[in-house]
Structure 1
Amino acid sequence: MTDALPGSVAHASALSHAPRQPLLLCLSHLRWNFVFQRPQHLLTRAARDHEVVFLEEPVFRPGTGPLLELRRVPEGVTVAVPVLPEGLPEQAVIAAQRRLLDGLLATEGGRPLIAWFYTPMALDFAGHLAPDLTVYDCMDELSAFRGAPPRMLELERALLSRADLVFTGGRSLYEAKRGRHPRVHCFPSSIDAAHFAAARTGLPDPQDQAALPRPRIGFFGVVDERMDLGLVAALAAARPDWCFSMIGPVVKIHPDTLPRLPNIHWLGGKDYAALPAYLANWDAGFMPFARNESTRFISPTKTPEFLAAGLPVVSTPILDVVRDWGPREDGGPGLVEIADDPPRFAAALQAVLARPRGQWLRQVDRKLARISWDRTWAEMKGLMAARLTPARAPALGEAAAARIA
């Protein structure tokens, strides 16, 4: 069911007003239903003892709005989407979002407010808020992405100046931000191991993949400027006996730029719940990331997800993948194979396809046992509780509040 908030007037029933629950307002550049990744994993867990509102970027419709559409998703989060008329100038768009946000929060003054930023651009319409706690969860270096707004770096400086806590999605991001704020904490990509481990149980092959030949090399994730399409084409041309199963939405690049060899199959985006069935019927995974500014700081969530599914994987030398999952410092083999050009990549895939997996899987499971989204959220929550005043902290839960004592 969707509630609409016209103008700046909020319905009293828009949020649940659960007693003592703080309100966590997430300001995001991503859509909740786009790809299930870091924000969804963390905020689903936050929703166990917070009222979580996930405020997306606006959509534009002719002759509509301004209004705020709210919907409750199964994960317990309220997704809020500003709907604005087409053709509004930039400053009017910002002003409309601010009015809609103020309307949503008009009746929320009696409980703690946590502002959780994924994009510094949200300061344009939310910079006037005075939350009890401000968190910047920096999951990507957005300024390096194609189409990044010119003011991104300026607004990030402003966000860093007011944030109480900064979390980063990987080691490279941590190293880039740690000198710019006194409380930067590294929380690399984690894993819902049980979800992806279902791929080891022999799930039925999805209908749109069942007819594809073996061996199958698979990729899942967003297909954008971070993918080395030349590498994908070269691998497929060099190994016409391999089938490449490609899962994910295509964004910011034109679909006509995708290589269209007979053994490359672009299957489109899939629900998070459906991914284990696809991975269960692959023989290996690959991460053909380009090496450019947009991948300089990434820490791909799919790395431990491939491993939890029991799939050997080969990646281009993305720094965080190499350091966290690649060859050990003592020269021993890593959990992920690294290759930097098409011939080496093909050779590495050939090697992992032929490799016995028993010992490798035991090493994988030992490492994955030390990480989880549950553990990541628990550590974040403790840091948040420690930054709140003692009077406010109990609203975050007894376990978190105890950290202040």
Structure 2
Amino acid sequence: NVILYVHYAPAAEPAPLYAAPTILYDISDDLTAFAEVEGEGIPDVVLAHHRRLVARADVVSAAGPGLADTYRQERPDIVYAPNGVDRARFATPQARPADMPPSSIEHPIAGYHGALAEWRFDFDLFADTVAKLPDWRFVLVGPVDRRVADQAARLERLPNVTLIGERSADEIGAYVQAFDVGAMWYPLNNVTAKALPMKLNEFLAAGVPSVSTPLPACIGVPGVWIASTPNEYSRALHEALEAGRSPQFAASIDDQVTRAEWSNSLQPIFDALEARDLLRGR
């Protein structure tokens, strides 16, 4: 029994090549937000495939609680299966990357990994926070969207900011382990407000406390501090740093990381497939 996992709607085109495949359609972003984050409407090809998939898929899942609510009208039996984490990849000690700046008690590192793009990175909040914390080192690991290349270049010229560039998934764990505090610089928009960032649990799996802007999915999570302004962010970084150095920190986040492991976070999808008798040969 072939299970065709579709993350991007047009990728379902190979479905006719298989005899009666089970189709799992995982919605990761709010398609209606294209106009806000990309400056254009939903591409016709994406919208057409999305509508067919929502109607045809055996199971439709959403990676964020807000996404599940958004698409429940189209698919009442949509399953909420939150983004998870490969705990071993982030918890197993790795060698410190050679291109990371040194960390010390006097110069802690606040690190971010992910794309630098207008819709998912608040450049003003970042720059203003950096200016308030000259003794901190701020590291950004990830690709730069060409549309914000000038903004990224300005950040790179700041004396306590290091842009590492894109790294492979296998390398990211080593960088996260080298952070003293993880930082999520998301602006609030229709996409981020409904998302559950994967990096949230990746930070925690590595034993790293983090600070986030007030995304609904991040509020109330153990080991995550919430901040909206540069002053709040500066204070939260210090609080997270102090908490992360406590011997009790690991125990305080263990339940959260366990729940977020892929074997647990994907269980709602397995349950939905099993309820439809679609796990033959599992």
TM-score w.r.t. length of structure 1: 0.61
Q: Conserved in 1, the CA contact under 8 Å of 2:219 and 2:226? A: yes
Name 1:350's counterpart in structure 2. 238
Structure 2 matches for 1:318-397, cutoff 5 A? 318-322=215-219, 325=221, 334-355=222-243, 356-377=245-266, 379-388=268-277, 394=280, 396-397=281-282
Q: Distance in 2 between matches of 1:135 and 1:305?
A: 25
Instruction: Tell me the secondary structure at the aligned position of residue 219 of structure 2.
Output: helix
Q: Does 1:287 align with 2:184?
A: yes
Instruction: Tell me the secondary structure at the aligned position of residue 166 of structure 1.
Output: strand
Name 2:159's counterpart in structure 1. 262
Deviates more, 1:152-161 or 1:335-344: 152-161
Q: Distance in 2 between matches of 1:255 and 1:294?
A: 21
Q: % of aligned pairs identical?
A: 31
Q: Does 1:187 align with 2:81?
A: yes
- Paired residues, what number? 269
Instruction: Tell me the secondary structure at the aligned position of residue 25 of structure 2.
Output: strand
Structure 2 matches for 1:5-404, cutoff 5 A? 22-23=1-2, 114-122=3-11, 125=13, 131-145=20-34, 146=38, 149-151=42-44, 152-198=46-92, 201=93, 203-211=94-102, 214-225=107-118, 226-251=120-145, 253-258=147-152, 259-260=155-156, 261-322=158-219, 325=221, 334-355=222-243, 356-377=245-266, 379-388=268-277, 394=280, 396-397=281-282
Q: Distance in 2 between matches of 1:375 and 1:293?
A: 27
Instruction: Tell me the secondary structure at the aligned position of residue 358 of structure 1.
Output: coil
Query: Aligned in 2, Cα 1:233/1:304: closer, same or farther, shift over 3 Å?
Result: same
Q: Distance in 2 between matches of 1:116 and 1:343?
A: 43
After superposition, give the CA deviation of every residue in 1:40-98 in whole Å (9 maximum; x if it has no partner): xxxxxxxxxxxxxxxxxxxxxxxxxxxxxxxxxxxxxxxxxxxxxxxxxxxxxxxxxxx
Shift of the alpha carbon at 1:215?
1.0
Shift of the alpha carbon at 1:247?
0.5
Q: Distance in 2 between matches of 1:351 and 1:216?
A: 14
RMSD: 2.5
Q: Conserved in 2, the CA contact under 8 Å of 1:133 and 1:387? A: no
After superposition, give the CA deviation of every residue in 1:111-149 in whole Å (9 maximum; x if it has no partner): xxx3332223446x5586774322211122244242564
Shift of the alpha carbon at 1:360?
3.0
Query: Aligned in 2, Cα 1:127/1:256: closer, same or farther, shift over 3 Å?
Result: same
Query: Aligned in 2, Cα 1:149/1:178: closer, same or farther, shift over 3 Å?
Result: closer
Instruction: Tell me the secondary structure at the aligned position of residue 296 of structure 1.
Output: helix
Q: Conserved in 2, the CA contact under 8 Å of 1:132 and 1:388? A: no
Residue 113 of structure 2 aligns with an amino acid whose one-letter code is F
Q: Distance in 2 between matches of 1:309 and 1:265?
A: 21
Gaps of 5+ in 1: 1-21, 24-113, 326-333, 398-405
Instruction: Tell me the secondary structure at the aligned position of residue 136 of structure 1.
Output: strand
Shift of the alpha carbon at 1:368?
1.7
After superposition, give the CA deviation of every residue in 1:309-333 in whole Å (9 maximum; x if it has no partner): 111100000111115x1xxxxxxxx
Query: Aligned in 2, Cα 1:211/1:338: closer, same or farther, shift over 3 Å?
Result: closer
Query: Aligned in 2, Cα 1:382/1:268: closer, same or farther, shift over 3 Å?
Result: same
Q: Conserved in 2, the CA contact under 8 Å of 1:204 and 1:277? A: yes
Q: Distance in 1 between matches of 2:277 and 2:21?
A: 7
Q: Distance in 1 between matches of 2:172 and 2:249?
A: 22
Residue 164 of structure 1 aligns with an amino acid whose one-letter code is D
Shift of the alpha carbon at 1:244?
0.4
Task: Report 1 or 2 for greater relative contact order, CA contacts < 8 Å, sequence distance ≥ 6.
Answer: 2
Query: Aligned in 2, Cα 1:128/1:148: closer, same or farther, shift over 3 Å?
Result: farther
Q: Conserved in 1, the CA contact under 8 Å of 2:96 and 2:178? A: yes
TM-score w.r.t. length of structure 2: 0.85
Q: Distance in 1 between matches of 2:31 and 2:146?
A: 14
Query: Aligned in 2, Cα 1:181/1:248: closer, same or farther, shift over 3 Å?
Result: same
Q: Quick check: which one's helix share is greater? A: 2
Q: Distance in 1 between matches of 2:175 and 2:16?
A: 45
